[in-house]
Amino acid sequence: MKILSVNAGSSSLKFTLIDMPAQVTIASGLFEKIGISDSFYTIKYNGEKIRKEVALPDHAAAVKELMRELIDLKIISSFAEIEGVGHRLVHGGPDFTETVILNDEVIAKLEENIDLAPLHNPGSITGMKAFMSVLPNVVQTVVFDTAFHSTMEKTEYLYPVPYEWYEKYKVRKYGFHGTSHRFINKTISEYLKRDDLKIISCHIGNGGSVTAIDSGRVVDTSMGFTPLAGIMMGTRSGDIDASILEYVSKKTGESLSELTNDLNKKSGLLGISGISSDSRDVEAAAKEGNERAILAQKMYASKIANYIAMYNNLLGGADVICLTAGVGENSSHMREMIIERIASLGVKIDPAKNDFRGEFRLITASDSTIPVYVVPTNEELMIAIDTMELALKNK
């Protein structure tokens, strides 16, 4: 069964074609600058990579071009080979707590909640409509980044603000990266052959979040009403004192919208280091002695470690800590910095075990109180698994 995992943005469309249930990636690619001049796409398959510049006036054109290329490149022989399309959506709001089959009713509900994720959801919904138009007879699903976190109790997902904000405006913690955290939970639970694990899952990439999981249920997560909350990230500030906004606005004359943009796109590693939002660039500068880069790395590691410690307490003691995503999987230095900062929990790194990139591995010493694993994430595969299961049910 061939499943397309799709992640559409306002001007982009990322896809992975996966053979299920074998879980083998057949092809992947990215269509960029959709609706903008100089649009192009790249497709990887059979160890090769092609790049083409082509006019892509809208997402429907991108989908048609994608399907044409899959045929022309003999990746598939006909559209009938595609038996499911799974769409990633950042925000499902309070209405969607699991993956659902896409239909007009679901689309209408998603459009009602666009104001909860105005930067992300519109592009994704446009991509969904494009695939529904081109592949009308194929089972299509929506996989929500927020869904995995829907098991949180009110004590964790409510903010201590006027209760009517929650009742009238849906203001609450939703959490994000849920598809990744769910994959990590599934992978480590299967590996350790336990379904009752207390897990601290750390998705550390350009965006980042930490999640406390107990027996497959999310207890708490660091991101909040939006992906801006929680740990320090590549360009996002993470948690700050909200009063700062009014103070800086009075000093600079910037609007609330402009300041929120600053917190989302000019803060985090970029804001502190003044060098880059890419942790690799910051790490390189720190090794050369750049003081702000060193400061940024220390702050980054401390923010993550503080959440790990807090969630260890919340869980009553974690059974395992997992590090994943770009930084978690590839930066041995940052992994070491984080673990050094949770030494009070009895966690001890093994430097020899930690010297690698991008693999599933245990990185702690034999006498560490909590084992720490690096678990490469695969959100596209998680989407494909959900889509396959729903497609089979609907046969």
Using alpha carbons, list the distances in angstroms from residue 93 to 99, 162, 229, 293, 300: 13, 19, 16, 37, 29
115 is a catalytic site residue = no
Identity of the residue numbered 270: L
Confirm whether 182 is domain-assigned: no
Q: Give residues with Cβ within 8 angstroms of 29, minimum separation 6.
A: 14, 15, 41, 42, 43, 44, 66
HEC secondary structure over 162-178: CHHHHHHHCCCCCCCCH
Examine the fold and report which residue of 110, 144, 178 is the final residue of a domain before the chain moves on.
Answer: 144
Residue 299 CA to residue 240 CA, distance in Å, equals 13
Confirm whether 263 is domain-assigned: yes
Confirm whether 370 is domain-assigned: yes
Q: Which of 145, 214, 220, 386 is catalytic?
A: 145
Model pTM score? 0.93
Confirm whether 166 is domain-assigned: no
- Are 102 and 225 in a shared domain? no
Sheet holding 82-89, edge to edge: 48-53, 40-45, 24-32, 13-19, 2-8, 82-89, 140-144, 100-101
Please, what is the Cα angle at 233 between 232 and 239, to 5 degrees? 35
Confirm whether 180 is domain-assigned: no
Residue 161 CA to residue 171 CA, distance in Å, equals 9
Confirm whether 181 is domain-assigned: no
Residue 154 CA to residue 62 CA, distance in Å, equals 41
State residue 239's pLDDT score.
Answer: 98
The domain total for the chain is 2
Confirm whether 355 is domain-assigned: yes
- Are 105 and 237 in a shared domain? no
Identity of the residue numbered 262: D
Residue 258 CA to residue 243 CA, distance in Å, equals 15
- Are 120 and 232 in a shared domain? no
- Are 133 and 74 in a shared domain? yes
- Are 241 and 309 in a shared domain? yes
- Are 304 and 238 in a shared domain? yes
- Are 53 and 200 in a shared domain? no
- Are 49 and 122 in a shared domain? yes
Instruction: Answer yes or no: are the C-beta atoms of 259 and 243 closer than 8 Å.
Output: no
Examine the fold and report which residue of 120, 144, 168 is the final residue of a domain before the chain moves on.
Answer: 144
State residue 116's pLDDT score.
Answer: 81
State residue 122's pLDDT score.
Answer: 80
- Are 227 and 136 in a shared domain? no
Domain of 371, CATH number, reads 3.30.420.40
- Are 214 and 353 in a shared domain? yes
- Are 135 and 201 in a shared domain? no
- Are 120 and 199 in a shared domain? no
Would you write out the chain's pLDDT as a tens digit for each of its 395 residues? Answer: 999 999 988 788 999 999 999 999 999 999 999 988 899 999 999 999 999 999 999 888 999 999 999 999 999 999 999 999 999 998 888 889 999 999 999 999 988 888 887 767 787 888 899 899 889 999 999 999 999 999 999 999 999 999 999 999 999 999 999 999 999 999 999 999 999 999 999 999 999 999 999 999 999 999 999 999 999 999 999 999 999 999 999 999 999 999 999 999 999 999 999 999 999 999 999 999 999 999 999 999 999 999 999 999 999 999 999 999 999 999 999 999 999 999 999 999 999 999 999 999 999 999 999 999 999 999 999 999 999 999 998 87
Q: Which of 88, 89, 69 is nearest to 79 (CA)?
A: 69
Residue 24 CA from chain centroid, whole number = 21
Which residue range is the domain that position 72 belongs to? 2-144
- The string over 260-291, giving b where at least 16 C-beta atoms fall within 10 Å of a residue's C-beta and e elsewhere, is eebbbeebbbbbbbebbbbbeebbebbeeebe
What token pair was written down for 352? 């020899």
Confirm whether 161 is domain-assigned: no
